[in-house]
């Protein structure tokens, strides 16, 4: 065996019956030769063409304990386990392909749903609203990339809360959405952004901001569809809309906080797993106040 390998014999060659040199080493109970073949890179897990047995099956069923020990040391497995492993791998590949297909379809649907704000943005009313937003924030308007008619204004977390409390509903009554859209921050003087769009539809704002739960395989369309179902049960408003966070308030007291908390956890696991810690704690928070908060890490 050493000589054959020295002269570059192929240790992985397979005969018409599907057997390779590993099987023959097991058949003739040659653990040393078996070790040489495995060291040379021979696959210990080839299965017979009829799929009924592997080299380890052969060693165990024919009473070759020394060969079985050598094979187990390199991770050899029985044919039934190998078949199961291949089936699992095939199922995983199929699932990945299906997820990729669904993601592609969702992206197409998302692109088709993106609103066109060009007409609303050209109106005198909206232009005046942009001037007012610039005045109250003390910041020059900056166009939102790739969105005609969308503007942001720089401010701080504390100031954003004050301005939204005073002006969100006023702008909404005129047909415009005034909201915060900056990154999360803990301190009052942390920077924030306020946005203004020529729409009163919060779901259009979510589309524009690309709000998603990508870590759970959900794009903006899926998040919006689920949130619309939640709103059928519990009306809400949104004052913060960004790519991974939503904040606002529930408009009426929640009748069954325990059951509703479970539903919200299914929709956004991170508000529990990386937030309050338990569904029971979320239920308690829903009883305490009307704050709405979703965040996908």
pLDDT at 184: 64
Is residue 226's pLDDT more than 70?
yes
pLDDT in the model for residue 91: 65
- pLDDT at residue 2, as a whole number: 72
For 191-206, what is the mean pLDDT? 95
Instruction: Inform me whether the pLDDT recorded for 202 exceeds 90.
Output: yes
pLDDT in tens, 257-280: 999 999 999 999 999 999 999 999
Report the pLDDT value the prediction gives residue 49, as an integer from 0 to 100: 65
* Separation of alpha carbons 248 and 246, rounded Å: 7
C-alpha closest to that of 213 among 270, 153, 265, 156? 270
Residue 39 phi/psi, 5-degree rounding, is: -65, -30
Residues contacting 55, CB < 8 A, separation 6+: 22, 23, 26, 44, 45, 46, 71, 76
Q: For the whole model, what pTM was predicted?
A: 0.66
Q: What is the mean pLDDT of the chain?
A: 87
pLDDT beyond 90 at 105: no
Is domain 2-77 in CATH 1.25.40.20, yes or no?
Answer: yes
Angle between the N-to-C axes of helices 220-233 and 202-209, in degrees from 0 to 180, rounded to the nearest 10: 160
Residue 245 has pLDDT above 70, yes or no: yes
Reported confidence tier of residue 122, pLDDT bands at 50, 70, 90: very high
Q: Can you give the pLDDT at residue 273?
A: 93
Give the model's pLDDT for residue 198.
Answer: 96
- The pLDDT tens digits of the residues spanning 14-60 come to 766 667 788 788 888 988 888 888 888 888 887 776 667 788 888 88
Kindly report, as residue ranges, where domains of CATH 1.25.40.20 are found in the chain: 2-77
DSSP state of 190: S
């Amino acid at each position: 065996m050493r000589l054959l390998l020295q002269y570059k014999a192929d240790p992985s060659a397979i005969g018409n019956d599907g057997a390779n040199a590993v099987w023959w080493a097991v058949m003739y109970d040659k653990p040393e030769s078996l070790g040489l073949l495995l060291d040379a890179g021979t696959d210990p897990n080839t299965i017979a063409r009829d799929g009924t047995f592997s080299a380890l099956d052969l060693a165990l069923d024919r009473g070759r304990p020394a060969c079985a020990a050598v094979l187990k040391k390199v991770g050899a497995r029985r044919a039934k386990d190998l078949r199961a492993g291949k089936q699992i791998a095939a199922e995983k590949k199929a699932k990945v392909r299906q997820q990729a297909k669904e993601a592609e379809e969702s992206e197409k649907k998302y692109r088709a749903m993106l609103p066109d704000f060009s007409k609303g943005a050209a109106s005198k009313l909206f232009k005046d609203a942009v001037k007012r937003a610039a005045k109250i924030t003390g910041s020059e308007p900056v166009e939102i990339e790739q969105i005609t008619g969308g503007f942001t204004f720089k401010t701080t977390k504390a100031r954003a809360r004050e301005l939204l409390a005073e002006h969100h509903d006023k702008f909404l009554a005129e047909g415009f959405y005034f909201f915060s859209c900056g990154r999360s921050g803990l301190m009052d003087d942390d920077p924030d952004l306020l946005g203004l769009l020529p729409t009163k539809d919060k779901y259009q704002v979510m589309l524009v901001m690309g709000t998603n739960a990508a870590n759970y395989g959900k794009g903006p369309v899926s998040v919006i569809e689920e949130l619309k179902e939640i709103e059928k049960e519990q009306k809400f408003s949104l004052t913060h809309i960004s790519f991974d966070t939503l904040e606002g308030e529930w408009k009426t007291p929640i009748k069954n906080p325990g059951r509703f908390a479970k539903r919200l956890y299914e929709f956004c696991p991170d508000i529990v797993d990386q937030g309050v810690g338990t569904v029971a704690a979320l239920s308690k928070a829903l009883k305490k106040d009307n704050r709405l908060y979703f965040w996908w890490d």
